[in-house]
Structure 1
Amino acid sequence: MPTVPQYDGTTDPVDHLETFRAMMLLHGASDGFLCRAFPTTLTGAARDWSSRIKPNSVSNFEDFGDDLVRHFMSSRRPRKTTASLMALRQEDHEPLKTFVCRFNREALQVPNLDPSAAMSALLAGARSNDFRRSVARQNPHSLADLMAGAEEYIAFEETLAALDSNRRRTSEDKNPTKKRRDDKASGREESP
């Protein structure tokens, strides 16, 4: 039998059911086999629940799965919606790259996400007006176009930050007395 992670009742039961069902169907398991094999994937509170099911009371795996989901409903992970994606905002000092990654993780959890809603949510959540202007100039026609534009803008931002850092380092190397003054002002002194 294929290996399926154990389910203890503390995580989303639908995730466990889908993982189990996919593994079993991949191997051509019958409905009866699914019903007999499923309890072997349970542990803890889930196994206790399963052991209380009366013999021959389950007629098919669909009903067995529905019973499990109803019993462990409190462990279900709330599904994300387009509204939750629209409420996502870039934090004050969060780089655009980090925000876009966080946005993408959230967007993957929204079932049947409309691409135009995702585009609107990303633009509304981003703090940078420069980014929004940059995107508007490109006039993306798809979410993929918008993400490509975001990647270009992120690369541009990172290049500017690297150049600025190099300029600062070069300036400090040319003017060591200014660096010492800055260090003293910030409460740090160079060791002799």
Structure 2
Amino acid sequence: MRAKVPRKFKSPDMNLYDGTTDLKHHLSNFKSRMYLANASDATSCKAFSTTLTKAAMKWFDSLLPRSVSNFDDILHKFLTRFSIQKDKVKHAPSLLGVKQEVEEPLRKHMERFNKVCLEIQDLPTEAVIMGLVNGLREGPFSHSISKRHPTFLNDVQEQAEKYINMKENARLREPNWRLGNPHQSKENEREPKRKEEVGPEKPKRYHNYTPLRVSCVDVYREICHIEKFPPLRPIKNKKGGSRN
């Protein structure tokens, strides 16, 4: 008994073809799914349109009625229309164009470099190492790699991971990373000290005072004999000062 063919063959991990990516990879992926589903030729013709989008879908809709008799006809027309896109497939020399930007961290650059490597088929290890060294920004890691001349990709990745961890750990230990702006933190530390030195402002007991019509010296002469006001204390010893 023949197994039933599912209605939809598009899975979440199969990207739609828009006419700009690698058409051979798309066809290989589609054929594998049709083979696993044991789909007939007619079913493959109908299911193929569900894997297209944008320009590729417009091309499929533009096919004349009854111009396709089997799936091989669709493949021939499809390859004739989009075979020019095969020139856009990346090759090993394209790695030389992956440069580390001025403010780009090494971890982010390595992730971007590895993503480009995955898009290139049959990539030699020597080309990967050469492209990585060529694209690094000048610094301790690029100097270390250039001196050692590694021949294995695992060695390069291990060295890069060590350097990334060292930089990130050093960054976490910086006061600027933990406390924010260091100048701002210093100002915050000085602020309470200034308040302590000045002290809290005492509330005023009276708001209106009678202005004096005589000098303070005359006032003190008049009240110096009163016991409630003790005489002034002598000034403490100071260098170059008088005790009187």
TM-score by length of 2: 0.58
Letter in 1 for 2:106: L
Q: In the alignment, is the contact (CA less than 8 A) between 2:22 and 2:86 conserved in 1?
A: yes
| Gap regions ≥5 residues in structure 2 | 1-5, 192-244
Which letter maps to 2:186? N
Counterpart in 2 of 1:3?
9
1:112 matched to which residue of 2? 122
The number of residues matched between the two structures is 177
Residue equivalent to 2:186: 175
1:28, CA displacement in angstroms?
A: 3.4
Unaligned 5+ runs, structure 1: 181-192
SS of aligned partner of 2:77: helix
Q: Which residue of 2 aligns with 1:90?
A: 100
Residue 189 of structure 1 is matched in structure 2 by none
What is the aligned partner in structure 2 of residue 45 from structure 1?
Answer: 58
Equivalent-residue separation in structure 2 for 1:145 and 1:93 (angstroms): 25
Q: Is the 8 A contact 1:8 1:46 kept in 2?
A: no
Quick check: which one's helix share is greater?
1
Larger radius of gyration: 2
Distance 1:83 1:53, change over 3 A: farther
Q: Secondary structure at the match of 2:88?
A: coil
- The aligned counterpart of 2:29 is 19
Mapped to 1, the partners of 2:165 and 2:103 lie a distance apart of 17
Q: 1:65 to 1:55 in 2, by over 3 A?
A: closer
Q: In the TM superposition, what is the alpha-carbon distance from 1:13 to its structure 2 partner?
A: 6.7
Q: Kindly report which structure 2 residues correspond to 1:72-91, keeping only aligned pairs within 5 A, or say none.
A: 72-73=82-83, 78-91=88-101
Percent identical among aligned pairs is 27
Greater Cα shift, 104-113 or 139-148:
139-148
